[in-house]
A and B are shown apart, each in its own frame.
Chain A
Amino acid sequence: DTAVSQTPKYLVTQMGNDKSIKCEQNLGHDTMYWYKQDSKKFLKIMFSYNNKELIINETVPNRFSPKSPDKAHLNLHINSLELGDSAVYFCASSQDPGKSEQFFGPGTRLTVL
C-alpha cells in the first residue's frame, strides 16, 4: 500500500502551458507539503497545509497555486510554465505541523521545454 502517492510521475510540457500535479496520502495525517528539488539537488519547501488550511507559503511565484480539497489530498497547479520550473516536485505528509517525521511521495519530474 502506497502511503503518499503522486501523479503523474513524469510530466513533459511546453513553456506557457498550465499543468497540475496530484498528491494523496492514506496515512490519516493532518499536514501535507510540497517540496521542490532543483537541478543542484536542493530540496526546498514550497507550501504546507494543515487540515486544508495553508500554513506555510515560501517565496514561491504566484503562478504556483496549491489546493487541498480534503486532508488526504494536496494538489499543485502551475500556470504559465517556465523553463526554470523544471525540477522534481515531492509531496509529503506528517501527523501534525510540529516535530513529526514527514513521509514523502515518489516525486514528479517536471520538464519544461
Chain B
Amino acid sequence: DQQVKQNSPSLSVQEGRISILNCDYTNSMFDYFLWYKKYPAEGPTFLISISSIKDKNEDGRFTVFLNKSAKHLSLHIVPSQPGDSAVYFCAASGKGGNTGKLIFGQGTTLQVKP
C-alpha cells in the first residue's frame, strides 16, 4: 500500500522554464514533507522540506507548496537549469508509527534541456 505517490515517472522541460513536480499522500498522520534529488550512482541529497503548519517554503530557485486538504505537495524549480536533471523523490514522515521514518514516493525523473 503506497502512502506516498509520484504519478509522473518523468518530466522534460526547457532550460529557463518552470519545472513542477507533484506528489500525493494518503496518510493524514504525515506532518513533515521533504524533497530529495538523486543523481545516478549517488545517494539522495536533501533539497527542501515543509512542515504541515505551513503551506509554502522557499529556498532560492526551489519552492515547495503543501495543500493539506488535497493531501498534495509540489516542488517548483524556477528557472530550471540543465544541472537540475536528476530523479526527484518526495518523502513524508509523521506521528505515531511513522515517527522518524521517511516514506518515499517512487521518484520523478526530471530532464532539463539546454
Contact of A41 among B34, B41, B93, B106 (CB under 8 A): B106
A-B contact count (CB 8 A): 51
Q: Separation in Å of the A37 CB from the closest CB of chain B?
A: 9
Contact A90–B44 (Cβ < 8 Å): yes
Contact A106–B42 (Cβ < 8 Å): yes
Secondary structure at the B interface, as helix, strand, loop or mixed, is strand
CA of A48 to CA of B45, assembled, Å = 19
- Chain A residues, CB < 8 A from B104: 42-44
Contact B43–A90 (Cβ < 8 Å): yes
Contact B45–A104 (Cβ < 8 Å): yes
Produce 1/0 per residue, B20-60, CB < 8 A to A: 00000000000110101000011111100101000000000
Secondary structure at the A interface, as helix, strand, loop or mixed, is strand
Contact B44–A56 (Cβ < 8 Å): no
Contact A106–B44 (Cβ < 8 Å): no
Tally chain A residues at the interface, Cβ within 8 Å. Answer: 25
CA of A101 to CA of B100, assembled, Å = 10
Q: Separation in Å of the B51 CB from the closest CB of chain A?
A: 7
- Chain B residues, CB < 8 A from A98: 99-100
CA of A50 to CA of B100, assembled, Å = 10
* A55 close to B (CB within 8 Å): yes
14 additional A-B pairs beyond A45-B101, A107-B42, beta carbons within 8 Å, are A31-B100, A41-B87, A43-B89, A45-B102, A48-B101, A56-B100, A90-B43, A90-B44, A94-B100, A101-B49, A102-B102, A103-B46, A104-B36, A104-B44
For this complex, 22 residue pairs linking A to B, each with C-beta atoms less than 8 Å apart, are A40-B106, A41-B106, A42-B106, A43-B44, A43-B89, A43-B102, A45-B101, A45-B102, A45-B103, A50-B100, A97-B99, A97-B100, A98-B99, A99-B51, A101-B34, A102-B46, A103-B46, A104-B44, A106-B42, A106-B43, A107-B42, A107-B43
